[in-house]
Structure 1
Amino acid sequence: MCLAAFALNADPRFPVVIAANRDEFFARPAAPMAWWRAGEVDVLAGRDLQAGGTWFGLTRTGRLALLTNVREPERQRPDAPSRGALVLDWLTRTESAAPYAASLAQGYNGFNLITAEPGDGPWHWISNRAPAPVALGPGVHGLSNAALDTPWPKTEGLKADLGQALAASANEEDLADRLFTALARSEPAPDAQLPDTGVGLLRERLLSPRFVRIPDPDAPGLARYGTRCSTVLVRHADGRVFVAERSVTADGSWLPAVVHRLPPQR
């Protein structure tokens, strides 16, 4: 993912709600969210068909992770391992966040990993740009390509829209529709509000919307890089989980949403 907002125990009907966009080069092959086997564990996740990892996934027991990269071009190593392996690593193991973070191999480019343990277990933010896992308390949190809750315009906007959607929605479908609309907003942020991450003003502008679309100079009408899919997850108070994903193609066409409903997780 490159943008995510998540509400934890902010509404008694829906104790967990996640709205997230994944941004990537369109030339990088990927499979949509589906059930597949990772080691000895069934995971519901998309799949990076180039490196084999994923960006957002959960298990039948409710163990969950999502990943964003840290935008820091001056520290990027082209030979670093794929960060998508981190999500699968978390999903296929059983330890809690602190020992897991301590066991992580070195050498990854900058990452943010949100982890959730099964049932009502704790949530944490783990990053190789932070000294220790940070426990996440109740409320609405946001994450893009910087540290947790860094107030980038698109992160703050999505957090606000998530809070409003929770207050206004009558059911999971209504909530999902509102969140997909929020994730599809393509307005760039004003220059005065843009971060300076070392990629230059033009690229900061192009990356500032929630829904990113950067044209391919060699293929008119197609995007070279941008939002590839939007995902909404809603967990009900009784443990049932609703997950919906919408994918978009390089020509801007939206594919039909794929919906998964999981029984109460234990």
Structure 2
Amino acid sequence: MCILLIAIDELIDWPLLLLGNRDEFHARPSTPAQPWAGAPDCLGGLDQVGGGSWLAQRNDGRFAAVTNLRSGMPAQAPRSRGHLVREFVIGSQSATEFADEVIRHIDEYGPFNLVFGDGSAVWAIDGHGETLQRLRSGVHVVSNGPLDCNWPKVRRLRERFEQAIRSGQRDDASLLGLLADETQPDPQSLPDTGVGPQRERTLAPIFIRGEHYGTRASTLVMHHEDGSVLFRERSFSAAASNSDEVAWRCLAIHGEWQLE
């Protein structure tokens, strides 16, 4: 993911909601969200180059999502950041045990932020400071800077989500629609991450439309208090000229994923 909103205990009946966009080169092949071969209790898209995922969910509430940390330097690392998502969702370590191991080996991955949970709590690793924190109740937005960054796209997604909830717009289409926002912020408000002014403007909106690089997927995940999970994802082609949508539902903890 390149922007991810996490709402904890903000919605009646839905104690956890994830809403995020994955931005990537269109030429990098990936599979859309589906149960994984060899691990059908896990669901998510898969990167066919690195073998990992950007956001994945297990049927018992265990989940993970990753964003890259932006800098002016190309990130070369032995392991794909997507492996962090896959390893946590498939694995059995506690969140804190997993985090300790990740932080010890953090140099093996390109710079990242990782949000993950085990059904009882939500945690985040700030790759910039190499620290772990538990996310408390409320609305959090993670993008390509440190966890506490307040970039324009971060503020806009948080504010528009909170406004939608206050006005009762809680249906899937309205929530996913928040991720389609192509509003360009004031150039003076943009961060300087070392990629140059033109690139900063290209990457500034919540939804990035581009022929070679842009938003590839928009994902909504909702955890119901009864243990059921909804996973809805829209996939986009180059320049967002075409889109496909899939929706999966797990009706109870340890239940099977069903395509709607």
TM-score computed with the length of structure 1 as normaliser: 0.89
* Percent identity of equivalent pairs: 35
Tell me what 1:237 maps to. 225
Q: What's the counterpart of residue 263 of structure 1?
A: 251
Distance 1:22-1:77 versus aligned 2 partners, 3 A rule: closer
Amino acid aligned to 2:68: N
Q: Distance in 2 between matches of 1:207 and 1:128?
A: 20
Match of 2:215 in 1: 227
Alignment partner for residue 253 of structure 1, among 228, 241, 253? 241
The alpha carbon displacement at 1:48 in A equals: 0.3
**Aligned ranges 1:10-25 → 2 under 5 Å:** 10-25=10-25
Q: Give the SS at the match of 1:9.
A: strand
**1:88 is paired with a residue of what secondary structure?**
helix
Q: Deviations over 1:60-106 (max 9, x none)?
A: 111000000000123x4424321111101111222222221221223
Q: CA deviation at 1:251?
A: 4.4
Q: Residue 10 of structure 2 aligns to which amino acid in structure 1?
A: A
Give 5+ residue unaligned stretches, structure 2. Answer: 255-260
Deviation at 1:155, TM superposition (A): 1.0
Contact kept in structure 1, 2:23 and 2:214, CA below 8 Å? yes
Paired residue type of 1:57: A
CA contact (8 A) 1:246 1:254 kept: no
Matched, 1:44 2:32: no
The number of equivalent residue pairs is 251
For residues 103 and 265 of structure 1, the distance between their equivalents in structure 2, rounded to whole angstroms, comes to 27
SS at match of 2:175: helix
Q: Distance in 1 between matches of 2:153 and 2:213?
A: 18
Corresponding residue for residue 128 of structure 1? 127
Residues 59, 229 of structure 2: 8 Å contact kept = no
Q: Quick check: 197-206 or 106-115, which moved more?
A: 106-115
Do 2:42 and 2:59's aligned partners in 1 also have CA atoms closer than 8 Å? yes
Q: Which residue of 2 aligns with 1:5?
A: 5
Q: 4+ residue stretches of structure 1 with deviation over 6 A?
A: none
Query: What does residue 33 of structure 1 align with?
Result: 33
Q: Separation in 2 of the partners of 1:43 and 1:53? A: 12
Secondary structure of the 1:51 match is coil
Are the counterparts in 1 of residues 126 and 147 from structure 2 also a CA contact under 8 Å? no
Match of 1:138 in 2: 137
Q: Secondary structure at the match of 2:31?
A: strand
The aligned amino acid for 2:140 is: H
The residue aligned with 1:112 is: 113
Which of the residues 87, 90, 93 maps onto 1:89?
87
1:154 matched to 2:153? The reply is yes
Shift of the 213–261 alpha-carbon distance from structure 1 to 2, 3 Å rule, reads same
